[in-house]
Structure 1
Amino acid sequence: MEYLNDKSTNSDFLTFVTDYIHNVVASSVDKNNHPYAQVCDALYHKDDKLYLLAKKDGPLYYCIKHAPEIKITASKGDGTMNSVGIGISGMAYDVEHKYQAEIFEKNPYLNQIYAGHLEEAKEYMHTIEVEIESGSIYDIRLNPIYRRTFKF
């Protein structure tokens, strides 16, 4: 799915995010209420929720524990006039290892990243569940430009 339209569902939007965009920036605030952003992968979605992985006790993990409100942004394309951007607002929670088997199955490159210490990585990597409030798309690849907000 490379394009969305007015008939696209919330599930279509999340499939677009996980399968087409994939690389995102997750933003929150730290314990001192300073902004924090981290590049990560949108790995999985189910039941209108988005799933990321974060290292337990890592910066993103601590930010989410401190302040669960999260903003996710991303863009993909070759130059401004051939790009698409997304935004997601919601609340993020550590759900320990929920859907971890499904996440690793859907994203087999994770096995390469953690080769040599895969089982250990599966312990310290926690699933972050994002309860989405809204998502948006701004697709400049189309003429006219396509804009839409998805309410969850």
Structure 2
Amino acid sequence: MEVKDIFRYVVEEIHTSIMATTDEDGHPVTCAIDLMDCEDDSIYFLTATGKGFYKRLSRSPHIALTALKGTDTMHSVAVSVAGEVRELGPELLPKLFEKNPYMYDIYPTEESRGVLTVFQIFRGQGEWFSLQTERIEKKNFAFGGEQVKGETYKVEEGCIGCGACQNACPRACIRMDGGHAVIDPVTCICCGNCKKVCPVGAITAGEM
């Protein structure tokens, strides 16, 4: 799955995200924000310039969001993004309103839409996490020139092939290959059970 496919799913299938910014004291503040449109490597949303959300974005252009879809936890998809935004102004408003006509009910007149402005999430990293399949599907991604980052566990050369980590893994994402444990990063949920039980400390946690 490419970044453009993830963004399209978030915008068209989930649409509403919980987005976090920080206040003037550096404390996190969350609010529900609809994601209006996307391109191959960016997402667009809008807000009113009179809102506290706008003031927080103007003060610090960094956001984190999570968008979740599913009937329950074990049949859900969660997409998380942390990145940088920039204000584009009102030029894209007609296009975004055409794509999201319910916005006319919220801002019915041209005068009322005069306070709106568009933002673009143009650079960052994220994670796709799906519990809709038998085996967990996870993908770390980056866009706008950023490098892919994410939590991961690795088996180092000191592995003695005892199989303790394989037995402890709740998601069966560890296999033995030539007497050496191998962790599948796509299905690993980074719980740390493998590291906890390794008798020789051969499993380490870090970033991709």
Q: Does 1:140 align with 2:105?
A: no
Contact 2:37 2:43 in 1 (8 A): yes
d(CA) in 2 for partners of 1:44, 1:140: 25
Q: How does 1:63-142 map to 2 (within 5 A)?
A: 63-115=56-108, 118-142=109-133
Structure 2: any 5+ residue segments left out of the alignment?
Answer: 144-208
Residue 33 of structure 1 is aligned with which of 2, 26, 32? Answer: 26
Match of 2:17 in 1: 24
- 1:48–1:98 CA distance, 2 compared to 1 (3 A): farther
**Structure 1 segments unaligned to the other structure (5+ residues):** 1-7
1:53 aligns with 2:46: yes
TM-score if structure 1 supplies the norm length?
0.88
CA distance in 2, matches of 1:84, 1:9: 16
Q: Secondary structure at the match of 2:105?
A: helix
Partners of 1:69 and 1:98 in 2: CA distance: 22
Aligned residues of 1:50 and 1:132 also touching (Cα < 8 A): no
Whole-Å separation in 2 of the counterparts to 1:75 and 1:126: 25
Q: State the alpha-carbon separation in 2 of the partners of residues 144 and 130 from structure 1.
A: 30
Higher relative contact order (CA 8 A, sep 6+): 1
Q: Secondary structure at the match of 2:8?
A: helix
**TM-score, normalising length: structure 2:** 0.65
Q: Distance in 1 between matches of 2:37 and 2:75?
A: 26
Alignment partners' CA distance in 2, 1:88 and 1:27: 10
Q: Which of 134, 138, 150 does residue 141 from structure 2 map onto?
A: 150
Superposition misfits of 4+ residues, deviation over 4 angstroms: none
Letter matched to residue 149 of structure 1: N
CA offset at residue 47 of structure 1?
Answer: 4.5
Counting matched residue pairs gives 143
Whether contact under 8 Å (2:3, 2:40) holds in the other structure is no
Higher helix share: 1
